Amino acid sequence: MTREQYEINGGGFYGLMKSLNLDPQQFGDINTDWDQHDLQRLQMIKEDIETQLLLLFDILRTRLRADMDTQLVSHDGFPRSDIDVVSIRLVRIRIIRLRNDHRQVLRHLEQRMIQHFQRAAAQDNNVMIEEPYSGMEIDDVLAAESSTQTHRIPFANVLEVAENGPAYCAGLKEGDMLVLFDTIHSGNFNNLQELAAVVQRLLEKAIPVQVIGADSSRRSLTLCPCINWGGRGALGCKIVPI
């Protein structure tokens, strides 16, 4: 985006969206008064956040030729001239904010779900509403809900896929973005050590994986980590957080 385009369109993130011929209304502000929202409203907010994030990741990759890790300065410390540094920063900032909102809405959704199931149990069993489920029952219910959810937001990039390695054989490709790795997704991912622990626990076993490809297509794969495939690591690829 040129400085003239930036100024004509009012500057900032919404000015960028106009310069890309996108409707800024697609990127409405998120109402973060979480305690004021019921379960249905929280679900709608979650879907809105995910829709915005998917579109922003696509803009970053296809329109701005970058990702969350692309270096914005040259080796001599100056802003790169071959990419739109200002636009990339604006999109990244928006993505970071939305990802933080996504984590919060997932946490509050879980709380509302627990309350919902407790009320349902109280009505079904004609008991006081304050009487809780056991911890195991709640975990089972939430796990069942999570298992049917389509995870949409990427949390890590796949790089350097070694030929004939486990990742290669599973169908992972350079540039794929992880949205689900066993039970890890954007809402509960914290660091790569968590992925490493899953890999060690499930060596020679099937790990369900969902990715978004470089062409924005979604794929579900089965990855079997192995340490005896003839190369480095148990996956044969590099994974970096987004």
Same domain, 118 and 80: yes
Is the separation of the CB atoms in 231 and 169 below 8 Å? no
Same domain, 12 and 130: yes
Out of 147, 180, 215, pick the residue that ends a domain.
Answer: 147
Mean pLDDT of the chain: 84
Model confidence at 138: pLDDT above 80: no
Same domain, 160 and 140: no
Domain tally, the chain: 2
The larger pLDDT score, comparing residue 13 to residue 118, is at 13
Handedness of CA 198, 202, 208, 213 (dihedral sign): positive
Same domain, 143 and 23: yes
Same domain, 210 and 137: no
CA distance 125 to 219: 42
Q: Cα 106 vs. chain centroid, distance in angstroms?
A: 12
Same domain, 68 and 120: yes
Same domain, 143 and 161: no
Same domain, 166 and 129: no
Strand partners, 218: 212
The DSSP line for 27-94 is GPPP---GGG--HHHHHHHHHHHHHHHHHHHHIIIIIS---TT---B-TTSSBPSSS-HHHHHHHHHH
Tens digits of per-residue pLDDT, 44-82?
999 999 999 999 999 998 999 998 888 999 999 999 999
Same domain, 29 and 142: yes
The domain in which residue 195 lies consists of: 156-241
Tens digits of per-residue pLDDT, 140-175?
545 545 544 557 889 999 999 999 999 999 999 999
Out of 104, 125, 147, pick the residue that ends a domain.
Answer: 147
Same domain, 140 and 162: no
Domain CATH for 190:
2.30.42.10
pLDDT given for residue 7 in this prediction: 46
Same domain, 14 and 131: yes
Same domain, 172 and 78: no
Out of 115, 147, 179, pick the residue that ends a domain.
Answer: 147
Q: Which two tokens stand for residue 26?
A: 């697609």
Is the separation of the CB atoms in 34 and 42 below 8 Å? yes
Q: Is the pTM of this model over 0.95?
A: no
CA distance 14 to 177: 26
CA distance 165 to 156: 19
pLDDT given for residue 150 in this prediction: 55
